[in-house]
Chain A
Amino acid sequence: MEGEATKGVLSVLSRLEMQARSRKAKPPQQQNSVKELKSTIDALITQRDQLKAQIETQMCVQKLRAAMDKQGAHEADEEMDDGSENSKLLRLMARHAQLKDLLHAHHLIGGYDIVKTCQGKGVCVSLATGYEGVYLDTYNLEIDLKETLRIGRHNIPPFIPVNSLAEQSNMQTDIRAFLGALSQHLNAFAGRKQQVKLVKELHKSVEVLETNALCSILVLLLTVPREKIAVLCTLDYADHTRCLPTRVCIECEDKELPGSPHWKNNITLLKETPVHKALITMKKMGYIV
């Protein structure tokens, strides 16, 4: 209060004047903001219309999609009454959406061949196996689609742990992981089996002493050329998802031989290359007959 008293009446008046001026200046500002708001409304209206139109097209597309899904794309095409530019576009959009969904579904199932069974109550998955570019056996697995997925009929050999793979990979929520794991096991098994077959075919001088149904153990009898020493080679495929052995063991009457640098190399070779190829290399190098 004291400060104001010292400034005097004039200063008070001038302040009041300032206030009055500023009040006068406001109306144009308000007008500005009203304009802005109006333009926003216009923009929103056009946006709404656009969205409305989009919904409409979407609905049309969906309707078309449903018809297409029901009867197949061609018949749906014929059903369209007018051949206007618009409807053509709509048809294309519907087809596009359909293909996209199909692609998505295919992606979801990881590119496996799947067929509906029992009027859609189940599916049958085909898992193809191959090794070195050769198609081998195809395995099939039927899955019942109920509240929970259930594995039905299949032709997968009993030594492939289908049920424990389903549990481990959470088949109920992640079918792709399950099919992936299963396919990996099957492909590795097919690969090992093919390797044994190739060894028997390509290497008459190598005797296959032992193998099992899962092809997870392979015992070979090799012969060293000059001395005619028999070498027992055991390949242990402990990792059933792979075609390469986890352990290679060499036994021989000549106690020195398994420890020699050449044979140490051979062991690494057998660990890193498929057995039928490793044997070819070993033969070429003159380690075995």
Chain B
Amino acid sequence: MDDSTKRLLQQLVRRIPTQMLKTTLEKWGRLTTEQQKSLDFTQPKWVLTENLLAFCEENGWTTKHITELEMIYVTDSPNQGMWYAFQLLDPEDDAPSVELTQFKEQFKIHLTELIRHVSIKIKKHTDEAVWIRIAWGDSFSRPNHLKPTYVVHHLQTPYVFMSSVTRKQKPLLSQALVLATRYTAIKDAHLSGRKLTAIRDVVMKQYQQVFPTKYPSPLLEQNQTASNPLIKREQAESSENRHQMACEAFGYGMVPQLQTAVYKLETKFRGITNKTMTERGEPIRCVVKFTSTNLLESFRNCASSGIASTPVTPLLSSITQKGRNFFVITDNGRGPS
């Protein structure tokens, strides 16, 4: 067993929270029953790490085994790290019939053609998602398993989610993905966040959306403030209306947890009060960034409580409608581009 395997195991055990360690190791199934029993999970992390390193030596685990463990941990906790969504464009005729084995094979072939030292592991998760782990090397060095890239793709959908990809690796990865999925191009979907599940739900429309229908079921309003019944009755209709519009824009019930929305503004300054600014040739640039632990929930609350005006501005409702949270707004474009 070499040092790199040891380092990998050490790093991994440090990352896995203690309460998850037991189940993750059980799922992995590389420990003998005795070894499993001998581990005392109430002990501090470093003791456990020492024990596991000893087992590693004993069982002759290699990097391959440790990466297996890592993949189990990462797929079980998809809401860590930063995830970026990409959209595949222009499918070929046979794109809808790509199946797992074919995809695996093609992806590996195409990526190894582009870069020689690369270690690829592909696994299908229970929720129909294909998880890809890539450890990158370059022409002179072996794959670095300490900083792997993770890619998640649902077959037959035009979306790919990536985590920890460098600028250098992205083109290679994109090309391999495009060829393996039988699409012709890929573009940044301008959607990112800490929770993979949230990003997936936004682009796959897997959250509860509200539409105007003939037979509306009353939307339950959350945390209604008890106030004077007369005031309440007077405002009931408009508040119901606001709530409906807020839900139409941002979703109902549990909404996908996005953390940020960024608007980059590039526009000519307009206003008579400031002459020097108006006469400036260059456009003014500014960035508006909204952050929250659950941005859509915050927006919805603002709109339904009347803090933000309804109908909700397309700038905000575009987040769910277009499935993105990064926008560049210029003078020429009417809406967010």
B-contacting residues of A (Cβ < 8 Å)? 113, 115, 117, 124, 126, 140, 142, 152-159, 210-214, 216-217, 236, 238, 240
B213 and A216 contact, CB distance less than 8 A: no
Are the CB atoms of A157 and B205 closer together than 8 Å? Answer: yes
Contact check, B214 vs A156: say whether CB atoms are below 8 A apart. no
Tell whether B59 is near chain A: CB-to-CB under 8 Å: no
Whether the Cβ atoms of A115 and B156 lie closer than 8 Å is: no
How far is it, in angstroms, between the C-alpha of A117 and the C-alpha of B158 when the chains are bound?
Answer: 29
Query: Which bucket holds chain B's interface residue count?
Result: 20 to 34
Contact present for B211 and A124 (CB under 8 Å): yes
Interchain Cβ contacts within 8 Å, total number: 66
**A214-B156 contact given A152-B321, A154-B205, A158-B203, CB 8 Å threshold:** yes
Stretch at the interface among B42-50, B61-69, B94-102, B327-335: B94-102
Q: Does B159 contact A (CB under 8 A)?
A: yes
> Are B97 and A238 in contact, CB atoms less than 8 angstroms apart?
yes
Are B128's CB and A236's CB within 8 A? no
Rounded to whole angstroms, the CA-CA distance of A158 and B96 in the bound complex is 12
Collect the chain B residues with CB atoms within 8 Å of residue A240's CB.
96
| A153 and B209 contacting across the interface, CB-CB below 8 Å | yes
When distances are taken between beta carbons in the complex, the residues of chain A under 8 Å from B219 are none
Instruction: Give Cα distance in the complex from A158 to B86, angstroms.
Output: 13
Q: How far, in angstroms, from A236 to B209 measured CA to CA in the complex?
A: 31
Output the least CB separation between A137 and chain B (Å). 11
Against A, the Cβ 8 Å flags (1 = close, 0 = not) of B104-128 are 0000000000000000000010001
Q: Is B205 in contact with A156, judged by CB distance below 8 angstroms?
A: yes
7 contacting pairs across A/B (C-beta < 8 A): A115-B214, A152-B321, A153-B209, A159-B156, A212-B154, A213-B154, A216-B156
Which chain B residues lie closer than 8 Å to A214 at the CB level?
Answer: 96, 156
The contact string, 1 if C-beta is below 8 Å from chain A, for chain B 141-165, is 0000000000000111111000000
Given contacts A154-B205, A156-B205, A157-B205, contact A213 B213 (CB under 8 A): no
- Shortest CB-to-CB span from A185 to chain B, Å, is 11
For residue A113, which residue of chain B has the nearest CB? Answer: B214
Give the interface of B toward A (CB within 8 A): 96-97, 99-100, 124, 128, 154-159, 203-206, 209, 211-214, 248, 320-321
Q: Is the CB of A210 within 8 A of B100?
A: yes
Complex-state Cα separation, A182 to B285, whole angstroms: 43
Question: Pick the contact of A140 from B100, B124, B203, B209 — CB < 8 Å?
Answer: B209
Contacts of A155 in B (CB 8 A): 205, 209, 211
> CB-nearest residue of chain B relative to A210?
B100
B87 shortest CB reach to chain A, Å: 9
Q: Of A115, A142, A153, A212, which contacts B155 at CB under 8 A?
A: A212
Which B residues are CB-close (under 8 A) to A217? 99
Report how far A103 CA is from B321 CA in the complex, Å.
33
A212 touches B99 (CB 8 A): yes
- Cβ of A115 and Cβ of B212 under 8 Å apart? yes
B314 to chain A minimum Cβ distance, whole angstroms, is 10
User: A234: nearest residue on chain B (CB-CB)?
Assistant: B99
| B124 / chain A contacts, CB cutoff of 8 Å | 210
A212-B128, A212-B155, A216-B97 known; A153 vs B321 contact (CB < 8 Å): yes
Give the residue name and chain of the A residue nearest to B154 (CB). A213
Chain A residues with CB below 8 A from B155, complex form? 212-213
Contact B211 A126 (CB under 8 A): yes
- Specify which chain A residues have a CB less than 8 angstroms from the CB of B248 in the assembled complex: 153
A113 neighbours in B (Cβ, 8 Å): 213-214
* Cβ distance B130 to chain A, nearest Cβ, rounded Å: 9
A236 and B99 alpha carbons, distance in the complex (Å) = 10
Most buried by B among A152, A157, A212, A240: A212
Q: Is the CB of B128 within 8 A of A211?
A: yes
Decide: B156 and A213 in contact? CB cutoff 8 A.
yes
* A34 to B89 CA separation, bound complex (whole angstroms): 80
Greatest chain A CB density within 10 A among B128, B156, B157, B321 is at B156
In the assembled complex, the Cα of A126 lies from the Cα of B159 at a distance in Å of 25
Chain A min CB distance to B190 (Å): 16
Q: In the complex, what residue of chain B is closest to A114 when comparing beta carbons?
A: B214
B211 and A213 contact, CB distance less than 8 A:
no
Contacts of B213 in A (CB 8 A): 113, 115, 124, 126, 140
- In the complex formed, the residue of A with least CB distance to B321 is A153
Docked CA distance A212–B320 (Å): 24
Residues in chain A near residue B203, CB distance under 8 A: 158
Closest B residue, CB atoms, query A153: B321
8 further A-B pairs in the complex, CB-CB below 8 A; given A142-B211, A157-B157, A240-B96: A124-B213, A156-B205, A157-B206, A158-B157, A159-B96, A159-B157, A210-B124, A212-B156
Contacts of A152 in B (CB 8 A): 321
**Neighbour of A117 across the interface among B206, B212, B320, CB < 8 A:** B212
